[in-house]
Amino acid sequence: MAIQQSIDNALEKTIGQHGIGADTLSAALARAGGALDWLRARHADGGLPLLRLPEKQDDLAVIRDAARRLARDATDVVMLGTGGSSLGGQTLAQLAGYAVPGVGALSAPPRLHFIDNLDPLSFETLLAKLPLKTTRFVSISKSGGTAETLMQTIAALSALKQAGVEAREAMLGITEPAKSGKRNGLRDLLGHHQVPMHEHDPGVGGRFSALTNVGLLPAAILGLDIGAIRRGAGAALAPVLANRKVADVPAALGAALAVALAESKSKTMSVVMAYSDRLERFTRWYVQLWAESLGKNGKGTTPVAALGPVDQHSQVQLYLGGPRDKLFTVVSVAGAGLGPRIDMELAKLAGEPELGGKTIGDLASAEARATTETLANNGCPVRTIHIARLDEASLGELLMHFMLETIIAAHLLGVDAFDQPAVEEGKVLAKKYLASA
Amino acid sequence: MAIQQSIDNALEKTIGQHGIGADTLSAALARAGGALDWLRARHADGGLPLLRLPEKQDDLAVIRDAARRLARDATDVVMLGTGGSSLGGQTLAQLAGYAVPGVGALSAPPRLHFIDNLDPLSFETLLAKLPLKTTRFVSISKSGGTAETLMQTIAALSALKQAGVEAREAMLGITEPAKSGKRNGLRDLLGHHQVPMHEHDPGVGGRFSALTNVGLLPAAILGLDIGAIRRGAGAALAPVLANRKVADVPAALGAALAVALAESKSKTMSVVMAYSDRLERFTRWYVQLWAESLGKNGKGTTPVAALGPVDQHSQVQLYLGGPRDKLFTVVSVAGAGLGPRIDMELAKLAGEPELGGKTIGDLASAEARATTETLANNGCPVRTIHIARLDEASLGELLMHFMLETIIAAHLLGVDAFDQPAVEEGKVLAKKYLASA
């Protein structure tokens, strides 16, 4: 295991009344055992394709080959897709230097753009600015019917046509395989233009798709080892398949903690605070995963994304001084000794001699530890996840850990982790208002 | 007023039991009247310098001049500072195209970088990659003692020295004026290197500093009209100073609504969902402002940032299907007719003929309206803020609106909006752990 979880600072015996009681946790763990049985059965019968991804290898060459062809002679690759069609890819790409907070792209070419929002000004300006002869577009929609993605794909097709570029040379689509009787707008649109299509696994929903071609294609474009991502995911799944004691399965322990604290101690929010720029997109991915999988039938807790140390200067005052309504997860990455080392003389000049000789990573690591302990000292429940080395394997493990934890939490809450019934009403209304625009 | 607020969809009479009752709101408004009296008194006696900023003009030329000198022959400007020393600047800079979500910089040169987080890998890579002879650094810390900013400033000084660049030619500092007996590390450090210093208004705290040189300097670097930003802020303040009926002061109405819903209907979260890429940083700025100003003495509600339409595919399932524990603010920007227009034939091919002839802005606008109504139809309280045209004036108005609303909410909750007492403990612990690193 490349990631280490501890819930010591979330226990009643450690932090007092806002921690979880031993009996309550045991009861939740016992219920989580049923979810583990279910997961093992679905792994055995193939009923949940997500669980077979760690061992899947036959698609990796196809993904690598598509990435190579897309990246060849390309300056820019524009990923079109929203929600689950984008956040997994963004999370993986950030490991390679995509969208580093405050800095921008630190990755090797080509430049990646993940257009997951619909904004008239941004997309128009981007299309006008891109060198279209060396730009590739990847359009992703599981159902093929996502209005935002279809609009952007159509706008891209029109821009390519105007630039005299053949769509079939510049685009790729990822959507479900054709099914008789089921319309797929993206497949029809791109098929008409002879654009190559890859298949979105119909059994893996968008927010669980980071480890499929949806997330791995952009990762491969940036040169990441996608096999290692899958292997890392296997490390998070292994304790489930090994039929270990429930408390020794990290995803089950995390899920039991979150649900038991919500039900017994009214911790209605789940804050994930990651201490690494390269995990900032991960926190957004987590927000979708947790919110959309659990928020139904009046159930669910609200995920909150935070980044350390910066949010110590933004949200920590509320965490410590405000209501005790949150469970915290601090995700830290070993950083001691890393980054620029501080000159002794300059540290003295700044009146902070204790900074001299230390590195930026030393301070960031000390702050992650200090925040964890300060939260616990003030009676806030904290679960910690420590990553010794942030790379493809540990990130794959982290993503699978949270997908499993979410599925187990859904089991405990009695909701379906895989649907999103409430978003239809807004889509219908939007079409009505669009018609009158 | 360039921004229009409505709370119709947050009223009990409109949306039912989760809306605010007329009597409860009236009582909160009556209490808010006291906060308005306090604000008018502080405007009159100058006790809260924030309130004098809209009319302040004597510093604009200095800011513009500094911006001009920094930008001259510069490829890159690195803004060093964390929390309130950064988020206001980021929010304004995004109006000019800084860090457009998914796209990156669409602004004119020089490139701006806001380094508000402390990450060893990011900063090391950035320093190695920047053309240091044409890079400028602006280091901002009100107290001059922020460890993260000092470390990054020292690392930048060392990098400049190694590149043979004089710090006094390449840097600028913003910190409080020298006070006898009070140490200011940043002032001492930069003073030693003859780096020019601008004064951070000692009476304006970091999270309220967007309209001072802290926020206006980066805005001016990107060519924004900083006078218009200040004038826009004045438009939000005017109803306070005009001694209007409390319910006719938008900031007082918003504050009364938020606090009354928290106290009477357990709406413990305040979701701000903005429908514009150029307001994404605004939502982060709001999170700090609301969290750090109100989260004390067990009070405060938790701010949640959301971006539309993308978070319809991430968080809206939870908003509609999960617990009724949130107040929503949907911020929309008029977008009808804007952006790429969709080809009729391609829309038909995609099986979505209703998209044909419409623009991306048409759909985004329809979605903002549909999300608002769907939330309200499902009994979720929604306040709307509509911006007819997003520019310097309306953004300045929006920022001042939310600063006033936050101050009034603090008055209603009985907390001090301007301190952050809880963050000290973590700083002390971090220094202890750093010493042993």
Domains in chain B with CATH codes: 3-41+229-421 (3.40.50.10490), 53-226 (3.40.50.10490)
> Does A83 contact chain B (CB < 8 Å)?
yes
Is the preceding omega at residue A49 within 30 degrees of 0, hence cis? Answer: no
What one-character DSSP code corresponds to residue B419? -
- Mark yes or no for CB contact B117/A127 under 8 Å: no
Helical H runs in B7-108? 12-15, 22-45, 60-71, 87-95
Report the residue from A120, A322, A434 with minimal CB separation from B354.
A434
Which of A:321-340 have CB within 8 Å of B?
Answer: 321-326, 335-336, 338-340
Q: Which of B313, B332, B359, B387 should one mutate to test binding to chain A, selecting the residue with the greatest count of A CBs within 10 A?
A: B313
**Residues 6+ away with beta carbon under 8 Å from B130:** B76, B78
Q: What are the residue ranges in chain B where pLDDT is below 50?
A: none
Distance CA A305, CA B264 (A): 27
Specify the pLDDT at position A179: 83
> Does A379 contact chain B (CB < 8 Å)?
no
Specify the pLDDT at position B187: 97
Percent pLDDT > 70 in chain A is 100
- Mark yes or no for CB contact A123/B422 under 8 Å: no
- Mark yes or no for CB contact A123/B339 under 8 Å: yes
Contact list in B for residue A335 (CB cut-off 8 A) is: 120
The Cα of A245 is separated from the nearest Cα of chain B by a number of Å equal to 31
A390 pLDDT higher than 80 = yes
Contact list in A for residue B150 (CB cut-off 8 A) is: 347, 350, 352, 355
Contact list in B for residue A120 (CB cut-off 8 A) is: 335, 338-340, 359-361, 364
**Residues 6+ away with beta carbon under 8 Å from A211:** A50, A53, A54, A88, A229, A230, A233, A396, A399, A400
Distance CA A418, CA A401 (A): 16
- Mark yes or no for CB contact B429/A369 under 8 Å: yes
Length of chain B: 437
Intra-chain end-to-end CA distance of chain A, in Å: 54
Which of A:282-321 have CB within 8 Å of B?
Answer: 284, 287-288, 291-292, 294-300, 302, 304, 307-310, 312-321
> Does A392 contact chain B (CB < 8 Å)?
no
Specify the pLDDT at position A25: 98
SS3 B391: coil
- Mark yes or no for CB contact A309/B117 under 8 Å: yes
């019934």: which residue's tokens? A421
Contact list in B for residue A360 (CB cut-off 8 A) is: 118-120, 123-124, 151-152, 155
Overall average pLDDT of the A240-262 stretch: 97
Q: Which residue of B has its CA nearest to A81?
A: B310
Specify the pLDDT at position B431: 92
Specify the pLDDT at position B179: 83
Contact list in B for residue A146 (CB cut-off 8 A) is: 313
Distance CA B373, CA A14 (A): 45
Of the candidates A278, A7, A342, A346, the residue with the CA atom closest to the CA atom of residue B434: A342
Cβ neighbours, 10 Å, residue B353: 12
- Mark yes or no for CB contact A315/B350 under 8 Å: no
Contact B154, A343 (CB under 8 A): yes
Specify the pLDDT at position A346: 98
A180 pLDDT higher than 80 = no
Distance CA A24, CA A258 (A): 12
Contact A139, A172 (CB under 8 A): yes
Overall average pLDDT of the A66-77 stretch: 97
The Cα of B258 is separated from the nearest Cα of chain A by a number of Å equal to 16
Contact list in A for residue B99 (CB cut-off 8 A) is: 104
> Does B60 contact chain A (CB < 8 Å)?
no
**Pairing relation of β-strands A326-333 and A135-140?**
unpaired
> Does B431 contact chain A (CB < 8 Å)?
yes
- Mark yes or no for CB contact B340/A121 under 8 Å: no
- Mark yes or no for CB contact B117/A307 under 8 Å: yes
Contact list in A for residue B432 (CB cut-off 8 A) is: 366, 370
Which of A:340-369 have CB within 8 Å of B?
Answer: 340, 342-343, 346-347, 349-352, 354-355, 358-367, 369
Report the residue from B154, B362, B377 with minimal CB separation from A343.
B154
Contact list in B for residue A364 (CB cut-off 8 A) is: 118-120
Q: CA A64 → CA A105, A204, A271, B264, distances in Å?
A: 22, 20, 35, 56
Q: Kindly state the tokens that stand for B166.
A: 């004089």
B292 is catalytic: yes
Q: Which of B151, B283, B389 should one mutate to test binding to chain A, selecting the residue with the greatest count of A CBs within 10 A?
A: B151
Q: Which residue of A has its CA nearest to B280?
A: A117
A15 pLDDT higher than 80 = yes
Q: CA B188 → CA A217, A353, B184, distances in Å?
A: 50, 13, 6
- Mark yes or no for CB contact A426/B106 under 8 Å: no
B124 is catalytic: no
Instruction: Please provide the average confidence, as pLDDT, over all residues in chain A.
Output: 97
Contact list in A for residue B157 (CB cut-off 8 A) is: 343, 346
A1 pLDDT higher than 90 = no
What is the model's pTM? 0.98
The Cα of B414 is separated from the nearest Cα of chain A by a number of Å equal to 13
Q: Kindly state the tokens that stand for A412.
A: 């405990």
> Does B128 contact chain A (CB < 8 Å)?
no
The Cα of B423 is separated from the nearest Cα of chain A by a number of Å equal to 6
Specify the pLDDT at position B182: 86
- Mark yes or no for CB contact B365/A437 under 8 Å: yes
Specify the pLDDT at position B243: 87
Cβ neighbours, 10 Å, residue B304: 25
Q: What φ, ψ does residue B295 adopt, rounded to 5°?
A: -80, 80
Of the candidates B74, B69, B76, B114, the residue with the CA atom closest to the CA atom of residue B92: B114
Q: What value of ipTM does the predicted structure carry?
A: 0.97
For A134-170, write each residue's pLDDT tens digit. 999 999 999 999 999 999 999 999 999 999 999 999 9
- Mark yes or no for CB contact B431/A359 under 8 Å: no
